Amino acid sequence: MDSKARSRPKSVPAPPTDPGPVGMIRTRVRGRILLLLCAMYFLTYIDRVNISTAAPFIQHDLGLSHTQLGFVLSAFAVPYAFFQAFGGYLADRFGPRVVLGAAGLVWAVSTVLTGFAAGLVSLFAARLALGFGEGASFPSATHAMTKWLPPHRRAYGQGITHAFSRIGNAIAPTVVASIIAVLHWRASFWILGAASGVWVVVWWLMYRNRPGDHPKITEAELAELPPEQRRDERPPVPWRALLKAILPVTFVDFCYGWMLWVYLTWIPSFFAGSYGLELKKFALFTTLVLIAGVVGDTAGGLLSDALLKRTGELRIARKLVLFVGLLGSFICIVPTLLVNDLVLVTSFLALAFFFLELTNPVLWSIPMDIAPHHAGTAGGLMNTGFGLAGVVSPVIFGFLVDQTGSWVVPFAVSAGLLAIGCLAALRLNVNAAVGEPGVVPHQRTGDSKII
């Protein structure tokens, strides 16, 4: 097998019986698989951020200092970052049914154990385990989507699943606070962990690594998938070619991830610190900003797939949307550095988040396009950029706030990284084909030019 990165034919036609995004959900087995993955993304994000709402109660009951609580809150990020590529490799090697099922079991159990924590060590260990479980989850899901979704629905799949993750992120404070108010902070982790456990059982019963093995799939639906997706091939990973093709995407993902972590970790404090808002009010403004990401994820996936179906060119469908999203986010962040009106700043932050999230399904689709037989590994390598950004972005952002006494400098630095990512996106070779048998090398066309 030729393991070199090559260019692929540009035409990616849709099957003649394509039912469309909504019809796929209603009439295809792959639609049910996609909904199951949406539920996974929703639950993982709730399990990831639920501790932020429960933190004051945990700190009081366990007698933790602010420094100790900080260690607990950071425990998730490191294993999440460094388990991406390995988790994706395991999915490519053993299939998402086993790997994603095992990962789901890890994050479900670790969430339940968080509710049983008796002190700093047990709490830290539970969050560490959650990072390992969730670190393998998204790359494994990417492999599953590569097998089950036709090429012209890949960005839609990534967009709708990540939209559900943003919904989970937005409603987690309300859900967790309600459980705490009625029961106890420990019960919030037990209930959410149990819900994740139910998902694992349903995943094991419903999912098959090879679409043709699913008992309810029809020959007509199977014919809508390319022949290579109907097979359960697990070739060895061409590491050199894969790294060469994916690491530039990883860098762009780092620039994207830096700003996303700012939204996920610092926006509530920004509203509270800059405008003196009380809990209910800054939570409301934060939710309004984050909801824009739900729209952005969905729109980005639909737009990218529509462009691919219309033009047959990955360069336009992927790079153009990526460039426009990062540039739009940068442009909308700049006014927040210059004005102080709450409504205007909230509006610009929401617009910036909308454009930022346009890029998310595209970033996840590129590894599926470049290395469909190694989509888990490729997706994990790409998302390592986001994971590394999660380790450094919140810390540096907070350090800059402390050192300058202002929110302008950290936001300006974050906007600068968006501009760098925007320029780097123009240099991506999205037409590369790694480890894909039967692809005839084609000369690159326009990948180094500005669109």
Which of 183-187, 195-199, 229-233, 365-369 comes out lowest in average pLDDT?
229-233
Return the structure tokens found at 181: 């108010």
Q: What is the pLDDT of residue 196?
A: 93
Domain coordinates in residue numbering, the chain: 31-234, 238-436
Q: What percent of the chain has pLDDT over 70?
A: 86
Looking at the structure, give the CATH architecture of the domain made up of residues 31-234. Up-down Bundle (1.20)
Answer whether residue 82 shows pLDDT above 90. Answer: no
Common-topology check for domains 31-234 and 238-436: yes
Q: Quickly list DSSP for 171-197.
A: HHHHHHHHHHHHS-HHHHHHHHHHHHH
Output the CA angle 16-22-23, nearest 5 degrees: 45
3-class secondary structure for 304-341? HHHHHHHHCCHHHHHHHHHHHHHHHHHHHHHHHHCCCC
Q: Are 368 and 145 in contact (CB under 8 A)?
A: yes
pLDDT tens by residue, 379-425: 888 888 988 888 888 778 878 887 888 888 989 999 999 999 999 99
pLDDT at 447: 40
Alpha carbons 401 and 171: distance in angstroms, whole number: 27
Domain 238-436 maps to which CATH number in 1.20.1250.20, 1.20.120.80, 2.40.33.10, 1.10.460.10? 1.20.1250.20
Residue 242 and residue 371 in contact, taking contact as beta carbons nearer than 8 Å: yes
Quote the CA–CA distance of 315 and 366 in Å, as a whole number: 10
C-alpha distances in Å from residue 100, one per residue of 87, 166, 382 = 9, 20, 18
Task: Taking residues 127-154, report their average pLDDT.
Answer: 86
CA dist 210 and 196 (Å) reads 24
Render pLDDT for 59-69 as a digit per residue (tens, 0 to 9). Answer: 788 887 766 77
Distance, in Å, from the CA atom of 146 to the CA atom of 30, rounded to the nearest integer, reads 11
Q: How far apart are CA 51 and CA 45, in angstroms?
A: 11
Give one word for 15, left, alpha or beta, with left for phi > 0 and alpha for psi -120 to 50. Answer: beta
For residue 106, what are the contacts with CB-CB under 8 A and spacing of at least 6?
129, 130, 132, 133
* Residue 340 to residue 274: CA distance in whole angstroms: 9
pLDDT digits (tens, 9 = 90+) for 89-130: 888 888 889 999 999 999 999 999 999 988 889 998 998 999
Residues near 377 by Cβ (< 8 Å), separated by ≥ 6?
Answer: 85, 88, 89, 91, 92, 139, 237, 242, 371
pLDDT above 70 (res 187): yes
Q: Counting Cβ atoms within 10 Å, is residue 191 exposed (0-12), middle (13-18) or buried (19+)?
A: middle
